[in-house]
Structure 1
């Protein structure tokens, strides 16, 4: 099965449309959305409805911290811009869309793969995997051979051998990577809706569950339109700039 893994969509319609079309062109058979459907972007309702349609056709979807923030009155762990957008998002979603978010799980498993938004050791605490130490902690917290997670907004690939030594691989777009069964793996596909590595192109990954081959992709999209929508909605200008600058 060819599985498309998308995370941190962040209410960016243009980026999500581009990634879904790209995955379809490459014959993706299943889809997994790893949370943060909303936040930062100007099209939260459209993104939720689109993901919901995919779920009705068998796709998997997770809760992210921005999704949870829409449901909470207090969000002390979020910066002011994120809190502002979360409140704006809640006011721009209908009851059905809010119910969809509320029902999202924190994790799911497919065969030997674990899917979480932030990390495997405490999915509900939203701590980042942003280095070898955190990657090792996450991999040791599960029996799954491969962990997929988001939250960081930059594509990364970690591996751990039987001795517990962790290595890092910087993904190259469209270069397939075989995931050896002799190692444990942690995959961060990068963000669809708000990349932060200096490259504004949207990120996602395709995983061949039979061949255990992983391919990262960067997908250019109409980030000018997405950025202008952020400004037109009255959301912080810094969030619009991020879509142009990639960070």
Structure 2
């Protein structure tokens, strides 16, 4: 089975469209959270993932929008949450609220979470990846890691930094951010996972950043939400 891996779309419809157009043939699509927040098209991004039946987990921005909480320590994030809550209808908000923190896909062989398996808000960068993360995710989901068809891959998001590492226990991968990369590469990031082979292809695709920055300004969102996209930070 081949999975197309997405994460951290953050209301960036233009980047999401570019990724989906660039995506090679896969058996299913998976999103590691944060469909909304920051960007000016939260409703369109939610609708796209729902229409394509993308298996999705909840990110911290998704949760903040669904719960009506904000990010008082971060003005940009807080503005994005407020904007998304006003843009989404009750059905879209209910969909966000129903997303689980972690879940299994690919017949239970792949675990998906937004943050660290033990702490949904903890950033876990590629340098922090380990086989132990797979075991922790499996334990949290009540299954065995890599035994008799158990979990042997873990998909994470949250950091907006693309990377993967392979261990005896399996592979850990962050596909990077579709809508707001923070690893110095402004192109939209995603990945393809071959579950049987435990192989990951990290992929990037360019998109019209200028158009997104203009939409950010038109929406009355903080200018930095758009300008940072040119820098990939």
Judged with a 3 Å threshold, the aligned counterparts in structure 2 of structure 1 residues 204 and 34 are, in CA distance, closer, same or farther, namely same
1:109 corresponding residue in structure 2 = 104
How many positions carry a matched residue from both structures?
219
1:70 corresponding residue in structure 2 = 65
How is 1:77-226 mapped onto 2 (pairs within 5 angstroms)?
78-110=73-105, 111-123=108-120, 126-130=121-125, 132-133=127-128, 135=130, 138-142=133-137, 143=145, 144-160=151-167, 182-226=168-212
TM-score (normalizing by structure 2): 0.87
What is the RMSD computed on CA atoms of the aligned residues? 1.8
Q: Is this contact kept in 2: 1:38–1:66, CA < 8 A?
A: yes
Gaps spanning 5+ residues in structure 2: where? 138-144, 146-150
Q: Is this contact kept in 1: 2:187–2:232, CA < 8 A?
A: yes
1:18 corresponding residue in structure 2 = 18
For residues 201 and 96 of structure 1, the distance between their equivalents in structure 2, rounded to whole angstroms, comes to 31
Q: Which of residues 27, 41, 44 is equivalent to 1:43?
A: 41
For residues 2 and 184 of structure 1, the distance between their equivalents in structure 2, rounded to whole angstroms, comes to 15
Q: Is this contact kept in 2: 1:129–1:135, CA < 8 A?
A: no
Q: Is this contact kept in 2: 1:70–1:86, CA < 8 A?
A: yes
For residues 183 and 89 of structure 1, the distance between their equivalents in structure 2, rounded to whole angstroms, comes to 39
Q: Which of residues 212, 235, 238 is equivalent to 2:221?
A: 235
TM-score (normalizing by structure 1): 0.83
Gaps spanning 5+ residues in structure 1: where? 161-181
More displaced stretch, 126-135 vs 113-122: 126-135
Shift in Å at residue 244 of structure 1?
A: 1.2
